[in-house]
């Protein structure tokens, strides 16, 4: 099956084995108490799913700690590709893609990434909340990756304060079952924050680098 097409490129290259130490008291800290090791995500995902309103506040947003960015969690329903394909065919047939023109041939797996378009339209989701509705892959508690319909994540927030949207989506598609929090398959560990330079800092950094290169070039020419 093809990969879900809405995954961002930076998620394709995980780096779980960094030298950074993570305090033991933080949720989803390294199982060995010091540093993450390859395969730790399979142990950490056993701590999920987390009910909608029970996620630790330290895992949300990412601004509570000056140097640490928490693991990423998706809020959704990990029903898998097959169920999502059934959903888009049943609920949004006009969005289904086929291998041939005029809705002929086989249904394409890529059809599932258009489910958010149907939800945004049918539930009148405000434009500023569109990015909350996604089809993403999440870590299932058994360690496998599952396709999920998501209504937010721990970085960008969730569909609220749009009144009742989550409940309406749950009722229509998932028999009223609340979404829960699941680990991201790539950003499942605490990492260092990357500070973005201000324009002034960027200009100073570029000037310093140019000066260093000029000095090295001068030495090389002697």
Mean pLDDT estimate for the chain: 84
**pLDDT per position as a tens digit, 141-171:** 999 999 999 999 999 999 876 678 999 999 9
> What kind and span of H or E run contains 210?
helix 199-220
Q: How far is CA 80 from the centre of its chain?
A: 16
Q: Is the pLDDT of residue 222 over 60?
A: no
Model confidence, pTM: 0.77
So where are the chain's domains?
Answer: 19-195
Asked if residues 110 and 2 have their Cβ atoms less than 8 Å apart, the reply is yes
Asked if residues 143 and 64 have their Cβ atoms less than 8 Å apart, the reply is no
Q: Half-sphere exposure of residue 53, counting CA atoms within 13 Å on the CB side?
A: 3
Least confident range from 100-109, 146-155, 206-215: namely 206-215
Q: Which of 162, 158, 164, 161 lies closest to 176, judged by CA?
A: 164
């Amino acid at each position: 099956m093809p990969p879900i097409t809405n995954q961002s490129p930076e998620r394709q290259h995980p780096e779980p084995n960094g030298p950074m130490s993570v305090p033991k008291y933080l949720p989803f800290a390294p199982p060995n108490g010091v540093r993450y090791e390859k395969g730790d995500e399979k142990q950490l995902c056993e701590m999920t799913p987390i009910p909608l309103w029970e996620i630790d506040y330290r895992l949300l947003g990412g601004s509570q700690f000056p140097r640490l960015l928490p693991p990423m969690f998706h809020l959704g329903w990990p029903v898998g590709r097959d169920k999502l394909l059934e959903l888009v065919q049943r609920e949004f047939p006009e969005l289904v893609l086929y291998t041939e023109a005029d809705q002929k041939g086989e249904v394409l797996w890529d059809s599932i990434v258009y489910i958010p378009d149907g939800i945004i339209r049918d539930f009148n989701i405000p434009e500023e909340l569109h990015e909350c509705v996604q089809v993403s892959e999440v870590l299932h508690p058994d360690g496998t990756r599952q396709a999920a319909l998501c209504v937010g994540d721990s970085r960008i927030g969730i569909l609220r304060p749009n009144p009742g949207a989550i409940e309406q989506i749950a009722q229509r598609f998932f028999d009223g079952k609340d979404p829960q929090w699941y680990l991201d398959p790539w950003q499942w560990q605490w990492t260092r924050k990357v500070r973005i330079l201000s324009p002034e800092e960027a200009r100073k950094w570029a000037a310093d680098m140019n000066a260093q290169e000029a000095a090295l070039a001068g030495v090389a020419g002697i």
